[in-house]
Amino acid sequence: MAKIKVKFACTECGMESPKWLGKCPGCGSWNTMVEEKETVIKTSGAAALFQAKEKPRSIIDIDSGEEPRVETGMRELNRVLGGGIVPGSLILVGGDPGIGKSTLLLQTSNALASKKLTVLYISGEESVRQTKLRADRLGALSASLLVLCETNVERIHEAIDSVKPDFLVIDSIQTVFDPNVPSAPGSVAQVRECTAHFMRVAKGQGIATVLVGHVTKEGAIAGPRLLEHMVDCVLYFEGERHHSYRLLRAVKNRFGSTNEIGIFEMGETGLSEVSNPSELFLSERPLGVAGSTVVASMEGTRPVLVELQALVAPTHFPSPRRMSTGIDHHRMALIIAVLEKRNGMFLQTQDAYLNVAGGVRLDEPAVDLAAAVSLASSFRDVPTRPYDVIFGEIGLTGEVRAVSRSEQRVREAHKLGFKRVIMPENSLKGWNPPPGIEIIGVGTVAEALSAALE
């Protein structure tokens, strides 16, 4: 006998409760518990047992060869994925509405279809005609690219069995529903069950599957956090609406690094790859302006030069403002405290603003020294040299700590024509700098300020 059971699930973390709660006990979010209905079918104990198809094997006898990968035709996407798409993998792509997720996947589908691979593009938000109009604009016209407008999981499964694709795109997972689940499309139960269904399809038939996910107003992928644990790779497509370039960032990847980023530029004919992102981020940098410095940051295996801008101005309020964009707010407060305590700068009556130009977010501690120099330059109203690159981690005692991959950062600065690099002296060991660039090793923040603001 089938029995309808009512429960309440959190739309943020997926935690279930037999009654409604104003605050989720799992993640602490308010007003996120929604009603879900599920059908409970009572079966006998023998029929409900799980039948294992594989026997346990010794880990020594398991082949550990490299996973075969399929080149996507886009170098930036290959970099983020770790070298290409792994057959049978399940990939989740999230991003703001209109950022270019469907454009990226349609271009990727066309590139794979051009290699004689069968690609099935399931559109749940647009009709087949709308998808064709976008494909005409992007030039994504290939006979092996099949398009279907469907939201029913059972009918999608029938299409997969008939087509037998090598690459599958579901755009988007929030629009797909399972008729056996008594919940509305996009609900916690539907998203969870549909994702589990496509995971079984991907693993069982070896089909590389990409799911497009909506994001919440906080920027996280909508649905329970269980969704991100089920997939093999989670990619975020980021970018500012007022800028033409987009960043593809991996936050989870079972087949590669999670620190890589891919940079694209949005144009009339779709997304184009940016081969040298440092030139893009520094294209509008002003020269000889107080508060502006260039930092060498590592994004995965790629060094990227980005401009840091700081503005320090007298405050008219009892408590000064501390605002940062692209850098952790708490890290900025730590740097200001070090400048006050160790370098004698009286910043308690000053508002401080710190911005990473271009909308990039820098998370590594190697940007500390450049942020400190930017704040000190704006506070003293003394410009830095226009062809200096600064990087290093700052400790609470005012020392400058070594950072990893210093040689790659210096070579990137030398390639772009910078004349001088201010960096931790402990990072100078074990390699030789390229000719034509001056290296200044510093041990404290005071030494770095005297070298940069001389």
pLDDT at 52 over 80: no
pLDDT of residue 47: 40
56 domain-assigned: no
Residue 44 has pLDDT above 50, yes or no: no
Tokens at 396, concatenated: 């609470």
If asked whether residues 212 and 329 sit together in one domain, one would say: no
| Whole-prediction pTM | 0.77
Alpha helices by DSSP H, listed for 139-260, are: 153-163, 188-205, 226-230
Please tell me the total count of domains within the chain.
Answer: 3
Both 285 and 210 in one domain: the answer is no
Domain's final residue, options 275, 297, 326: 275
With bands split at pLDDT 50, 70 and 90, how would you rate the model's confidence at 188?
Answer: confident
pLDDT at 359 over 50: yes
Chosen domain end from 242, 275, 308: 275
Burial of 303 (0-12, 13-18, 19+ CB in 10 A): buried
Q: How confident is the model at residue 38 (pLDDT cuts 50, 70, 90)?
A: low
Please report the pLDDT score of residue 219 as a whole number. 60
59-114 pLDDT tens trace: 888 877 667 889 998 999 999 998 899 999 999 999 888 888 999 999 999 999 99
pLDDT over 70 (residue 18): yes
Binning pLDDT at 50, 70 and 90, where does residue 57 land? confident
Whichever domain contains 263, its CATH number is 3.40.50.300
**CATH number, domain with residue 332:** 3.30.230.10
In tens, the pLDDT along 219-274 reads 666 666 678 888 999 999 887 766 778 889 898 999 888 878 888 988 888 899 98
Mean pLDDT across 394-400: 96
Res. 343: pLDDT tops 50: yes
**What pLDDT score was predicted for residue 242?**
67
How far is 76 from 256, CA to CA, in rounded Å?
Answer: 14
* pLDDT at position 97: 85
In terms of domains, do 212 and 330 share one? no
Same domain, 167 and 298: no
208-213 and 167-171 beta bridge pairing: parallel
Instruction: Domain of residue 22: give its range.
Output: 2-41
The whole-number average pLDDT for the span 111-135 is: 93
Q: Which residue, 275, 294, 322, sits at the end of a domain?
A: 275
Q: Are residues 249 and 358 in the same domain?
A: no
- Same domain flag for 264 and 319: no
> What confidence category does residue 13 fall into, taking pLDDT thresholds of 50, 70 and 90?
confident
**Range in 125-129, 274-278, 310-314 the model is least confident about:** 274-278
If you average pLDDT over residues 54-63, what whole number do you get? 83
Q: Which position has the higher pLDDT, 39 or 391? A: 391
Evaluate whether 273 touches 108 at the Cβ level (below 8 Å): no
pLDDT at position 217:
63
Q: 51 pLDDT exceeds 50? A: no
Please name the residues in contact with 45: beta carbons below 8 A apart, sequence gap of 6 or more. Answer: none
- DSSP character string of 79-140: HHHTSSBPTT-EEEEEE-TTSSHHHHHHHHHHHHHTTT--EEEEESSS-HHHHHHHHHHHT-
Strands 90-95 and 233-238, sheet pairing = parallel
pLDDT of residue 449 exceeding 80, the answer is yes
Known binding-site residues for ATP equal 95-102
- Interval 274-289 mean pLDDT: 84
Q: Does 62 reside within a domain?
A: no
Q: Is the pLDDT of residue 40 over 60?
A: no
Indicate if the alpha-carbon torsion angle 207, 82, 272, 363 is positive or negative: positive
Whether 414 is in a domain gets the answer yes
285 has pLDDT over 50: yes
Work out the percent of the chain whose per-residue pLDDT is above 90: 55
Could you tell me the pLDDT band of residue 218, with boundaries at 50, 70 and 90? low
Is 187 found in the same domain as 307? no
User: Given a cut of 70, is residue 321 above it in pLDDT?
Assistant: yes
346 is written with which tokens?
A: 């009286």
| Average confidence score pLDDT of the chain | 87
Residues 262 and 285 in one domain: no
What is the C-alpha separation between 368 and 400, in angstroms, rounded? Answer: 9
Q: Answer whether residue 45 shows pLDDT above 60.
A: no
Instruction: Tell me, yes or no, whether 53 lies in a domain.
Output: no
Known binding-site positions: 95-102
